[in-house]
């Protein structure tokens, strides 16, 4: 028997093609999107505006399959983390962060990560595989199922950031399909202002994204010169800062009120001097931006320390004095290990990088 198609991971375009293939009208795609994503009905038998014969046909060739939630953790500050079980002993993490007036879901795009940013705990786990579009959108489905709507009838999850485990632009087509579903009015209806993709800087894919899917962009800059960025965000050796910022400028061209969020992790004694702040101001000239300073979140085995509170404030103030918008990201959910860069899941590491990193740690500690 051929495998049944999982409709969870098809966007409008994909579902229309699926129905045409079945000799059905493409408008069925919209009905299916609403059932799956708006009403979270996954049993074809309950889809009352489809004929009985179509429901039976769907039953035979398709399914709506969600991965299983292994654990849900709830932090004292209301942050929630779901650990979602995937095939072959892998698991990913999804985090919900409630704030006044909005609720943000931080979504993973890969099992582990193939990049080697030295301050990120996901990187230490190594890499297993890309998530498919169904596994990406399932995270939003699961969060909506758990959190539902507020008393006014609005969804509790109002914003999505592609900032969980993995590099989203290294899993391009699945991420774009899932983001299409997030944006689609028949899916989740999230506006591009409330949907942000964060990348470490895969330059050609930034250009492609500009063409394919209208979302807000964040870049993980973390250093104001190539020498340092080559070390802490090694993808910089391939796509150096000047190329990355040029791609960002192309990204915002012609888009009213669109800025790039620049993420900058505060690492004590590494990238947090006033000279670094000066270099940052110079670099970002001409790029509409907002800087988000992220206090470093430690994880077992790391040799980095977070900059002192004072130093973070000094750094921020310097940027503000120079006319930039700079905020400090609040650390949320650290009691359930759900903060930025702490998401580790369960990664069956095919790259064997975690082994190599452990070996390096031994040398480092000697």
Q: Are strands 159-162 and 195-199 parallel, antiparallel or unpaired?
A: parallel
Output the known binding site.
113, 117, 120, 166-167, 198, 220-222, 297
- H or E segment to which residue 97 belongs: strand 91-99
Which C-beta is closer to ligand SAH: that of 50 or that of 169?
A: 169
- Compute the 3-state secondary structure of the chain and give helix, strand, coil in percent, each to the nearest 5: 40, 20, 40
- Asked whether position 140 contacts ligand SAH by CB under 6 A, the answer is no
- Asked whether position 296 contacts ligand SAH by CB under 6 A, the answer is yes
Which C-beta is closer to ligand SAH: that of 86 or that of 265?
A: 265
- Would residue 3 show up in a list of annotated catalytic residues for this protein? no
* 79, 128, 177, 200: which one binds ligand SAH (CB under 6 A): 200
Which residue lies nearest ligand SAH, judged by its C-beta? 341
Of 267, 189, 286, 192, which is closest to residue 229 (Cα–Cα)? 267
Output the known binding site for S-adenosyl-L-methionine.
166-167, 198, 220-222, 297
Please state, in angstroms and rounded to a whole number, the distance separating the CA atoms of residues 207 and 9: 24
| Contacts with ligand SAH, 81-120, as mask; x by CB under 6 A | ------------------------------------x-xx
In order of 16, 191, 294, the CA distances from 255 in angstroms are 29, 14, 26
- Asked whether position 340 contacts ligand SAH by CB under 6 A, the answer is yes
Per the CB < 8 A criterion, the answer to whether 331 and 339 are in contact is: yes
* 93, 167, 184, 276: which one binds ligand SAH (CB under 6 A): 167
- Would residue 306 show up in a list of annotated catalytic residues for this protein? no
Instruction: Give the up-direction half-sphere exposure of residue 213: CA atoms within 13 A in the CB hemisphere.
Output: 26
Which C-beta is closer to ligand SAH: that of 16 or that of 341?
A: 341
Please state, in angstroms and rounded to a whole number, the distance separating the CA atoms of residues 294 and 227: 21
Per the CB < 8 A criterion, the answer to whether 134 and 65 are in contact is: yes
Q: Give min distance, CB of 200 to ligand SAH, in A.
A: 4
Which candidate in 93, 135, 263, 346 is catalytic?
A: 93
24: Cβ–Cβ under 8 A, 6 or more apart, which residues?
Answer: 54, 57
* 124, 180, 196, 220: which one binds ligand SAH (CB under 6 A): 220
Residues that bind ligand SAH (CB under 6 A): 117, 119-121, 163, 167, 198-200, 220, 263, 265, 294, 296-297, 340-341
């Amino acid at each position: 028997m051929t495998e049944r198609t999982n409709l969870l991971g098809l966007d409008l375009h994909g579902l229309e093609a699926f129905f045409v293939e079945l000799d059905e009208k493409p408008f069925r795609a919209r009905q299916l999107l609403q059932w799956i994503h708006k009403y979270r009905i996954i049993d074809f038998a309950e889809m009352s505006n489809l004929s009985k014969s179509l429901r039976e046909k769907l039953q035979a060739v398709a399914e709506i399959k969600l991965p299983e939630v292994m654990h849900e953790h709830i932090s004292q500050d209301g942050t929630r983390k779901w650990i979602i079980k995937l095939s072959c002993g892998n698991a990913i993490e999804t985090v919900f962060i409630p704030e006044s007036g909005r609720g943000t879901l931080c979504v993973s795009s890969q099992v582990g990560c193939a990049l080697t940013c030295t301050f990120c705990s996901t990187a230490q786990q190594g890499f297993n595989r890309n998530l498919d579009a169904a596994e990406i959108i399932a995270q939003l489905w699961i969060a909506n199922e758990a959190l539902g709507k507020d008393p006014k009838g609005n969804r509790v999850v109002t914003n999505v950031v592609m900032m969980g485990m993995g590099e989203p632009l290294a899993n391009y087509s699945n991420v774009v399909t899932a983001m299409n579903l997030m944006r689609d009015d028949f899916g989740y209806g999230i506006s591009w202002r409330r949907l942000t993709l964060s990348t470490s800087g895969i330059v050609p894919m930034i250009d492609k994204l500009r063409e394919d899917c209208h979302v807000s962009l964040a870049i993980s800059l973390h250093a104001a010169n190539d020498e340092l960025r080559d070390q802490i965000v090694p993808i910089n050796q391939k796509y150096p800062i000047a190329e990355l910022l040029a791609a960002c400028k192309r990204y915002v061209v012609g888009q009213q009120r669109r800025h790039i969020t620049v993420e900058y992790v505060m690492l004590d004694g590494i990238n947090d001097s006033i000279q670094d702040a000066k270099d940052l101001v110079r670099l970002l000239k001409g790029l509409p931006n907002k800087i988000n300073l992220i206090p470093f979140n430690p994880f077992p085995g790391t040799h980095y320390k977070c900059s002192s509170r004072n130093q973070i404030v000094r750094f921020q103030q310097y940027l503000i004095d120079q006319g930039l918008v700079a905020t400090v990201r609040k650390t949320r959910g650290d009691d359930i290990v759900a903060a930025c860069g702490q998401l580790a899941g369960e990664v069956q590491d095919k790259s064997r990088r975690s082994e190599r990193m452990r070996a390096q740690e031994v040398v480092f500690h000697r």
